[in-house]
Chain A
């Protein structure tokens, strides 16, 4: 089955594939696509051999720098980025979890300074295998990557 048929082909832009369906709308929010003037196509619960079912985001006429796109790695570690030019995939690579995650995760500790002061949160990745664990730079509280609360 060809998922490509489910959404319009892209002349130029970015396709983010293999997103867990449950993370698609979080990814849209993290990438700030709610406010973009570009055409955005969102697919959820599409069949996938890898994930069972998957989500996909297509953004026309837009390419992201690595720092921006890697912001979704925490919630969508399986995501694959395809850069499209002239209807062809010219670049394809998985997302990479950065060492530090800025301004995406809310600290679960109510006594943390980040929950009481207008400031960006900062989490350091302290473990990648077997499970992602991140730790608040400020109060040192740790949380599993898949349990992290997205701002």
Chain B
């Protein structure tokens, strides 16, 4: 067990979050620092995810580190049929750090228990994806100049969307106000509303993506509404366009408003929003590089500055 591992955003304190944001800001200015010279990072993608893997591998490469690993266990016969424990122990002999993605929930937590090198969770099924949360926090911080006292509107699939759940939990330190905008079938689960109540976080809940909600928001966080989440296909057809953002809907929004989306999008943000200066989702993805450089250097115990 290595205490620099990052499995869930809920494992780290407010100070650690602020330290990671500080590091991310540093790497935005010094993206090509060669501070991982001689370090080897293993990227183990038991489940393929090109987007996340490229972001992590770019982060390592720009810091001068080396990468070993695999991007699809199907191509790696030695991993197939081997227990996760054995794979992690084997790789621990070679690497200084493991970045792993796995389709099974809890895989990264278990990995931390069988090795002494740090583990970064790059997604474990529907469970946790803390580097996504860090890049979301960094994007909010960068565009608003602060994390405290913001009105954040979460739209779309609030039931299954792990990114919105993790963001909600991480924001508990920063006195946010949330608007939950979703169809009834995809509403925010009770346990997260209980969490808000316990933490004293204000929220509203509505199925109506109304001008009132949009025009009072500092951040609108859009998520994908997937057909397969609905038990009734008719219900999907009825609601799918209600949670699509069009440029005209932003006419009276606050000047500091920014639109976030974890990407990839399907049709929940119309392409006519892309040229609006309030559209931030492409830069948001770019921030993932700095957030991951921050997480990697923290995991390796490297101090910057």
Contact = CB atoms under 8 A, between A and B. Distances in A.
Contacts of B104: 111-113, 116-117
A112 B105 contact: yes
Contact of A138 (B83, B103, B105, B126): B105
Given A111-B125, A113-B84, A139-B127, A119 B105 contact: no
Given A139-B127, A140-B127, A114 B83 contact: no
A89 to B, nearest CB: 41
A113 B83 contact: no
Interface string A92-112: 000000000000000001011
Contacts of A130: none
A109 B105 contact: yes
Given A138-B105, A138-B110, A111 B126 contact: yes
Interface in B249-267: none
Interface size class of A (residues with CB under 8 A): 10 to 19
B193 interface: no
A29 interface: no
Range of interface residues on chain B?
Answer: 10 to 19
B126 A119 contact: no
Q: Give the secondary structure class of A's interface.
A: loop
B146 interface: no
A18 to B, nearest CB: 33
Given A111-B125, A111-B126, A136 B106 contact: yes
B83 A112 contact: no
B85 A113 contact: no
Nearest to B114: A119
A137 interface: yes
Interface string B105-118: 11101100000000
Interface string B94-108: 000000001111110
Contacts of B110: 113-114, 117, 119, 138
A118 interface: yes
Interface in B41-97: 83-85
A141 B126 CA distance: 11
A139 B84 contact: no
Given A111-B104, A111-B126, A138 B109 contact: yes
Interface string A109-151: 1011110111100000000000000001111111000000000
A119 B113 CA distance: 11
A142 B104 CA distance: 17
Given A117-B110, A138-B110, A139-B127, A111 B83 contact: no
Given A137-B109, A139-B105, A117 B85 contact: yes
A102 to B, nearest CB: 12
Nearest to A115: B104
Interface string B280-293: 00000000000000
A114 B105 CA distance: 9
A138 to B, nearest CB: 2
B77 to A, nearest CB: 19
B83 A117 contact: yes
A116 B83 CA distance: 9
A55 to B, nearest CB: 34
A118 B83 contact: yes
Interface in B157-186: none
Contact of A112 (B84, B85, B106, B128): B106
Interface string B228-264: 0000000000000000000000000000000000000
13 contacts: A111-B105, A111-B125, A112-B105, A112-B106, A113-B102, A114-B110, A117-B85, A137-B106, A137-B109, A138-B109, A139-B105, A139-B125, A141-B105
**Which 5 pairs across A and B sit closest by C-beta, in order of nearness?**
A138-B106, A139-B105, A113-B106, A139-B106, A113-B104
Interface of A: 109, 111-114, 116-119, 136-142
Interface of B: 83-85, 102-107, 109-110, 124-128, 191
Given A113-B104, A117-B85, A139-B127, 7 more contacts: A111-B103, A112-B106, A113-B110, A113-B124, A117-B104, A139-B105, A142-B191
